Structure 1
Amino acid sequence: MAGSTAIKDTRSEARIFTSRLLLCLFVVLVMVGVLVARMINLQVIQHADLSTKSDDNRIHLQSLPPTRGLIYDTRGNLLAENKPSYTLMLVKERVGNLEQTLANLREILPISDEQVEAYRKSARQSRPFESVPLKYRLQEDEIARIAVNEHRLPGVEVEAQLVRFYPNGDHFAHSVGYVGSINERELAGLDPDAYSGTRSIGKIGVEKFYEIQLLGKAGFQEVETDARGRVQRVISRRDPEPGSDITLYLDAELQKVAIEALKGRRGAVVALDTRTGGVLVMASAPAYDPNLFVTGIASRDYSLLRDNEDRPLYNRASLGEYPPASTIKPMVALAGLDTGITNPSYTIFDPGWYQLPGEERLYRNWKREGHGVVDLERAVMYSNDTYFYELALKLGIDNMHQYLSGFGLGRRIGRDISEERPGLMPSRDWKRGARGRPWYPGETLITGIGQGYMLATPLQLAASTAVIANRGKWIRPQLLKMASPMFELPAKPELVDVELKKPEYWDFAIEAMRKVVHHPRGTAHYRIGRNIDYQMAGKTGTAQIVGIKQDEKYDAEKLAERNRDHALFVGFAPLDDPQIAIAVVIENGGSGSGTAAPIARKVLDAYLLPRIQAGLAGAGAAQ
């Protein structure tokens, strides 16, 4: 019928709807299949690999540095301890933009370019997710400013750490030494596991020699972190093993006496226990505060120390090499007696000089008018040069080299003293090799009074004096007294005891040294031998360091201070039961009797008088 409306085709619409529904269902099923396949791949096929990677991102191994062992003196006083300190740490993997973080930190804290550079070096050497120090010894207000700005400082932490501290300041800088940051050269030779998490190492002295024992063993812990790297829980832990505590023979009270006696001078004092070889005093002046080096010394501060003409960084006690001067005369006398070249009754007439046959040069005695008739005992007591010129010539350099080397001259003698020089005990072979020239008789003469090429350290002089006190028995000087737990010292060849043909030669030498101090005409009597409560043996020495003309008289006032003679003294006490041997060297100090001997007396008094008084008190109580 025209104008009528077409009837709706429901079947066609149903087919269209059904086809579209099936298409959508197919797409959904394909997508679900892809998801299921992906899930199977992740959960089954790649499960082991992805689980490991997940743990690597979530679980971290953190190093736990050991606590460094403590160092005590012989009385139990702390010489090196560990003090808690707050340190600003950065974890580079969490920081993100390092430059921005550093800029933010510098807005709230004073951080130097040196500290930033030190951090960069340490960060290059660190393990992943290992915190690296940027600034040590934070103050309370600095910690508060960091806490307030925590939202701006990702990967920045404040950790409480133990930092090495030396409570005696500069008193033991050269003997105990100090620890400092591990540098790249040191790192290349270290066991990375042993030093995991540890950022300091012994640099000199006891801290360096006993580094392995003081260090301890590192530990570790496995920790679980969140997406921002914050620790959520500790999964497992192996505690670090602390380093060994060690006790030294050094006596802090005695060291203080020596340091105060040296105040304002350049020099060294070494005192040894004659029975054990223990180093009771090892003082070098001037010195420095080792605490400056522990967390990194500023370039300006180091330059001031390095460029100081008084050389405070230099350990004069074991590295300083000086002409021993007349302190060797007892040893030369023993050589003369043992070889039969001289005897106690042999005398010479001293006009104030000695002259080699056929030569015009006069070898002067320190007393220009001479001492007149002198035997061997008086030669030691007066420190007569003329007698020893003749004795040295008769002995010859070969005999002197043999005997004086036996007393430790020209040799490294310390058992656990790493910074030690051997000095020089010259010989014909040495001069031929070092100078390419023969040995001359005049050189033998001046060697006989401890001048010329001969050099000795204060440590050697104290040790050789201890050998005389022990009548030839050698005991190597040693700093370590005990450790917990105890460990074996590195093996070193034993020094051969000095054996003389007749024991009475020791008696002679010791008696002559006693008279140096106690006889009214002994060179040390006026300054230290009067009003003394114990008997001691000693020998003064004055070492000339600049030459003067043949007929010119030495006048210290006309010389620059640094060109004046060195002052020396060696001795031991008590005479009948030697307990302590000492050597004092004062650079440009002038007279050994006037400058060095009084310092030795102060140290000996501080050591012996309390023991003498305690003995008397004990005897009174017993009665």
Structure 2
Amino acid sequence: MTEFRSPEQEISRLRFRLVVAGLFMLVCLGLLAARFFYLQVMRFDYYHTRAEDNRIALVPVPPNRGTIVDRNGKVLARNFAAYTLEITPSQVDDLDDTIERLAEIVEISDYDRRRFKKFREDTKYFESVPIRTKLTDAEVARFIARRYMFRGVDVQARLFREYPQGDLFGHVVGYMGRINSRDVEQLEARGETANYRGTEHIGKRGLEESYEAELHGRTGSEQVEVDAGGRKVRLLSRQTAVPGNSLILTVDAGLQAVAGQAFGNRRGALVAIEPSTGGVLALVSAPSFDPNLFVDGISVADWKGLNESPDRPLLNRAIYSAYPPGSTFKPFMALAGLSLGKRTPQQAIADPGFFMFGGHRFMDDKVGGHGMVDLHTSIVQSCNTYYYQLANDLGIDAIAAFMRPFGFGQITGIDLPGEAEGVLPSPEWKRKRFKRPAQQKWFGGETISVGIGQGYNAYTPLQLATALSAVVNDGVMFKPHVVKYVVDPQTGARREVEPQPVRRIPLKPEHLAAVRAAMVDVNLRGTGARAFAGAAYTVGGKTGTAQVYSLRGTKYKEGNVAERLRDHSWFIAFAPADKPKIAMAVLVENGGFGSRSAAPIARQVIDYYLLGKRPPGQASEDEEAEDGE
């Protein structure tokens, strides 16, 4: 039998259900209202910023890097603009497929692919990575027409570095290279990360590295509106980038060219300095390298050619390589003998052609000796026996103490990276250098070798040029520097790099005069006479020949020795002798006698600097300018 409910009960149940449903709806609406209030009111700033970030992008604007010119305004480093095809990997789903499709529009070589892979690995910090650089106008047009097909790919106008003088200034100017992970770590340590947003390259060697802070400038920014694809729609605001400062050098490009060409295919180095200021007039390391090879990422073949070459073109021999100075050390030894009271200019010794010490015969270069030799003759004729005896009389501690103020065995502080200290030998140095006690002992025979610039002596051409500058500048030594002015490109204001006197070495004028007079006579009737025959100026100098390996009692015959085991050729010089404007050190690796290889190079350089005379076959700067830099 079916049970019927009363109408009152049904109405009551319906009302209850309506109340429950109404309450549920009110609770839901309340929750929605609360959430709406939370999002629209309490979290308004946060979500407004995120929305604006989706619509507005802050794009870094890299600054224009400063230029580098020589003392006469000749351009050594400058910028040029070019288009680059770049991929932002984080925005690309299939990178390989994207590259293949791009290759149908613009040419992408295997080298471009390898470079892209390397850049992507080394520069994860940056958003975009170039797949092709220096696009032609036609290639840019072809891509722009199809850009909608490539998310995360775009064309950028970038500044590239150019070095018009090529390998002539490779070691001075250095080069720009792409920022890698190590560079990023260094920027983070210095707190300069923000200033390198959007910048892909940084100075790696030479002045590009040491003056990076001056050359780089300050990064600007653009606030742009972007579409859903991340492409610019319109510019909203701009903070202008501040261009980097430019550098005017003390170096003379013409003098550098004469010096560089004088080396020809030989290995070696030359450093020429203005004694009264420490300004570097020329700094050559031969062979050199073309810094333009590094600007766009050096190829494997080019890198292998430079890195594996037996001539080591990447090595800056002028400031990093240390060599025994040979007889160029004798003028400094002569000053030591005079200053420490062990010799007078008139005092003479008998030279039988050798010096006996500890049962060992130290041979002179002239069979039978030079006869009676005073200080003047010892320098002019480069008498070894005189300096064997002098070294023995002075002792190694006195020699080391006297030579230290000249900067031997110390960095000079030149404004170029990678300078070596060299070796000023002493018992203290030897104790630090060797581990075994038997090796740490200093022997008297080692002092004898030090006296003629051999043994453990090892100095850079820069150190010798700096030390000579002090001798011809009456004992005042200046810190060598390559940059003369730092220039603000916006105002044109010049900030001079002030000459910095390092020290005044207490040398008596009569002692300096005696040594300098002997060095002048070297080029009149001594070992440098042939190289400076007919010179229209007076010049002081000293030849030097430094052994590469121990003869062990045998007689040296150049023709019987492998080329890279032959003696090094040295020459130091200053001119004009009465008021020197230039002091230099020249080294030719395995060049033999200093009078034969190094001295003629010095002659060409001084002829140009004092007389404007160029060697036959060299074009003038005006002729070079007509041909284009």
Deviation of 1:96 (Å): 4.4
Matched-pair contact (CA < 8 Å) for 1:114–1:298: no
Q: Does 1:125 align with 2:129?
A: no
**Partner residue in 2 for 1:110:** 108
Q: Secondary structure at the match of 1:442?
A: helix
Q: Does 1:69 align with 2:76?
A: no
Matched-pair contact (CA < 8 Å) for 1:423–1:456: yes
How far apart are the structure 1 equivalents of 2:48 and 2:341?
Answer: 88
**Partner residue in 1 for 2:543:** 540
Deviation of 1:570 (Å): 0.2
Deviation of 1:321 (Å): 0.4
Q: Secondary structure at the match of 1:526?
A: coil
Q: Does 1:527 align with 2:525?
A: no
Superposed counterparts of 1:169-248, under 5 Å: 169-190=166-187, 191-248=192-249
Deviation of 1:119 (Å): 4.3
Deviation of 1:487 (Å): 5.7
How far apart are the structure 2 equivalents of 1:275 and 1:72?
Answer: 22
Q: Secondary structure at the match of 1:594?
A: coil
2:509 to 503, 507, 511: 503
Deviation of 1:94 (Å): 4.7
Deviation of 1:49 (Å): 4.6
Matched-pair contact (CA < 8 Å) for 2:479–2:499: no
Superposed counterparts of 1:347-358, under 5 Å: 347-356=348-357, 358=358
Deviation of 1:230 (Å): 1.8
Superposed counterparts of 1:254-265, under 5 Å: 254-265=255-266
**2:260 aligned partner, one-letter code:** I
Matched-pair contact (CA < 8 Å) for 1:380–1:516: yes
Deviation of 1:188 (Å): 1.4
How far apart are the structure 1 equivalents of 2:390 and 2:383?
Answer: 11
Superposed counterparts of 1:140-151, under 5 Å: 140-151=137-148
Post-superposition Cα deviations, 1:145-183, rounded to whole Å, max 9, x if no partner, equal 434543432332222221111111011111111111111
**Partner residue in 1 for 2:424:** 425
2:522 to 502, 516, 519: 516
How far apart are the structure 2 equivalents of 1:384 and 1:152?
Answer: 80
2:590 to 588, 591, 599: 588
- The alpha-carbon distance between structure 1 residues 373 and 46, as it changes in their structure 2 partners (threshold 3 A), is closer
How far apart are the structure 2 equivalents of 1:48 and 1:432?
Answer: 68
Which ranges in structure 2 are unaligned for 5 or more consecutive residues?
Answer: 1-24, 489-493, 614-629
How far apart are the structure 2 equivalents of 1:90 and 1:432?
Answer: 57
**Partner residue in 2 for 1:316:** 317
Deviation of 1:407 (Å): 1.4
Which ranges in structure 1 are unaligned for 5 or more consecutive residues?
Answer: 1-29, 612-623
Superposed counterparts of 1:392-541, under 5 Å: 392-435=391-434, 436=437, 437-485=440-488, 495-500=502-507, 502-519=508-525, 522-528=526-532, 530-541=533-544
Q: Does 1:336 align with 2:337?
A: yes
Post-superposition Cα deviations, 1:415-434, rounded to whole Å, max 9, x if no partner, equal 31321111111001111232
**1:590 aligned partner, one-letter code:** G
- The alpha-carbon distance between structure 1 residues 226 and 149, as it changes in their structure 2 partners (threshold 3 A), is closer
**Partner residue in 1 for 2:556:** 554
- The alpha-carbon distance between structure 1 residues 409 and 119, as it changes in their structure 2 partners (threshold 3 A), is closer
Matched-pair contact (CA < 8 Å) for 1:324–1:450: yes
Deviation of 1:115 (Å): 2.1
Deviation of 1:87 (Å): 1.0
- The alpha-carbon distance between structure 1 residues 390 and 123, as it changes in their structure 2 partners (threshold 3 A), is closer
Matched-pair contact (CA < 8 Å) for 2:255–2:605: yes
How far apart are the structure 2 equivalents of 1:418 and 1:87?
Answer: 31
How far apart are the structure 1 equivalents of 2:125 and 2:470?
Answer: 49
Superposed counterparts of 1:567-586, under 5 Å: 567-586=569-588
Post-superposition Cα deviations, 1:549-585, rounded to whole Å, max 9, x if no partner, equal 42x3211000000010000000100011110001100
Q: Which moved more, 1:232-241 or 1:87-96?
A: 87-96
Deviation of 1:139 (Å): 3.2
How far apart are the structure 2 equivalents of 1:81 and 1:388?
Answer: 51
How far apart are the structure 1 equivalents of 2:470 and 2:235?
Answer: 59
How far apart are the structure 2 equivalents of 1:134 and 1:490?
Answer: 45
How far apart are the structure 2 equivalents of 1:181 and 1:49?
Answer: 36
Q: Secondary structure at the match of 2:397?
A: helix
**Partner residue in 1 for 2:11:** none
**Partner residue in 2 for 1:90:** 87
**2:585 aligned partner, one-letter code:** A
Matched-pair contact (CA < 8 Å) for 1:92–1:123: no
Q: Secondary structure at the match of 1:571?
A: strand
Deviation of 1:93 (Å): 5.4
- The alpha-carbon distance between structure 1 residues 223 and 490, as it changes in their structure 2 partners (threshold 3 A), is farther
Post-superposition Cα deviations, 1:64-98, rounded to whole Å, max 9, x if no partner, equal 11111111111111111011122112234554443
How far apart are the structure 1 equivalents of 2:50 and 2:137?
Answer: 40
Q: Under a length normalisation based on structure 1, what TM-score does the superposition of the two structures give? A: 0.87
Q: Does 1:80 align with 2:83?
A: no
Deviation of 1:226 (Å): 1.2
Q: Which moved more, 1:46-55 or 1:396-405?
A: 46-55
**Partner residue in 1 for 2:617:** none
RMSD, aligned CA: 2.7
How far apart are the structure 2 equivalents of 1:307 and 1:597?
Answer: 30
- The alpha-carbon distance between structure 1 residues 489 and 132, as it changes in their structure 2 partners (threshold 3 A), is farther
**1:461 aligned partner, one-letter code:** L
Query: When the two structures are aligned, how many residues end up with a matched partner?
Result: 574
How far apart are the structure 2 equivalents of 1:91 and 1:491?
Answer: 48
**Partner residue in 1 for 2:622:** none
Post-superposition Cα deviations, 1:163-212, rounded to whole Å, max 9, x if no partner, equal 11111101111111111111101101212211111111111111111111
Q: Secondary structure at the match of 2:519?
A: helix
How far apart are the structure 2 equivalents of 1:294 and 1:363?
Answer: 53
Matched-pair contact (CA < 8 Å) for 2:113–2:131: no
